[in-house]
Amino acid sequence: AQSVSQHNHHVILSEAASLELGCNYSYGGTVNLFWYVQYPGQHLQLLLKYFSGDPLVKGIKGFEAEFIKSKFSFNLRKPSVQWSDTAEYFCAVGGSQGNLIFGKGTKLSVKP
Amino acid sequence: KAGVTQTPRYLIKTRGQQVTLSCSPISGHRSVSWYQQTPGQGLQFLFEYFSETQRNKGNFPGRFSGRQFSNSRSEMNVSTLELGDSALYLCASSLLWTGASSMNTEAFFGQGTRLTVV
């Protein structure tokens, strides 16, 4: 069965620190990969997506992610976080029947 | 363009009752998916509707059901509520049926309905 693993449950950073959130998936076929963010009290929003092409994907708010097929990974990065990036981040893979399979999420707390 | 609208936002029900949640997708979107979000299990797929037909279903008991109307609005029903059904129920809309093409899996989420079963 397809699954998504996010390595960190809770990450605490100071402002201006660099961020990398890990995501690994298990699926041998063509994958569509996503990162969603859920700010406190708000709905899930798409940060970025990968369907094909350049494995380095740039998203909104300065986030980027790199698809490494050999490692089944799609890690999220941001060079310098801000307090406003405090949120929960979800990695997801498009399942074989189209539905999204989510990781358990990583809570990011950014200290001002 | 209005986003995905879910009503009600909050709901408190008693064990054994049934509940109906509503979702209006983004205008022009024809696919509606439902997800359950809990602290322990995370986000889990319930089902997807497209053109008033259920196209895909997750691993939930038959107490969870849904339907879609001709205007693409969808409802989700949970019968015989259990304490463990307490969760945030999220609706997501997509332009087309997500299973028809790998390019269709971009989903736009509503703010959810917080269901508490007491």
Do the chains contact at A98 and B106, CB–CB below 8 Å? no
| Long-range residue pairs from B61-64, CB within 8 A, at least 24 positions apart, any chain | none
Give the distance from residue A48's alpha carbon to the nearest chain B alpha carbon, in angstroms.
Answer: 10
Query: How large is the average pLDDT for residues B60-73?
Result: 97
Stronger pLDDT, B96 or B58, i.e. the higher one: B58
Q: What is the DSSP letter of B14?
A: -
Instruction: Output the pLDDT for position A73.
Output: 95
Q: What angle do CA B77, B6, B81 make, to 5 degrees?
A: 30
Q: What is the DSSP letter of B52?
A: T
Query: How large is the average pLDDT for residues B45-51?
Result: 93
Instruction: Output the pLDDT for position A2.
Output: 81
Instruction: Output the pLDDT for position A31.
Output: 81
Residue type, B90: L
pLDDT tens sequence across A70-108: 999 999 999 999 999 999 999 998 877 778 889 999 999
Q: What is the DSSP letter of B40?
A: T
* Distance (Å, whole) CA B88 – CA B98: 22
Task: Kindly tell me if the per-residue pLDDT of A30 is higher than 80.
Answer: no
Helix, strand, coil abundance in chain A, percent, nearest 5: 10, 55, 40
pLDDT tens sequence across B78-112: 999 999 999 999 999 988 776 655 555 678 999 99
Instruction: Output the pLDDT for position B102.
Output: 52
A43, closest residue in chain B (CA to CA): B111
pLDDT tens sequence across A34-74: 999 999 989 999 999 998 889 999 999 999 999 999 999 99
Instruction: Output the pLDDT for position B99.
Output: 62
- Are the C-beta atoms of A100 and A66 separated by less than 8 Å? no
B97 touches chain A (CB under 8 A): yes
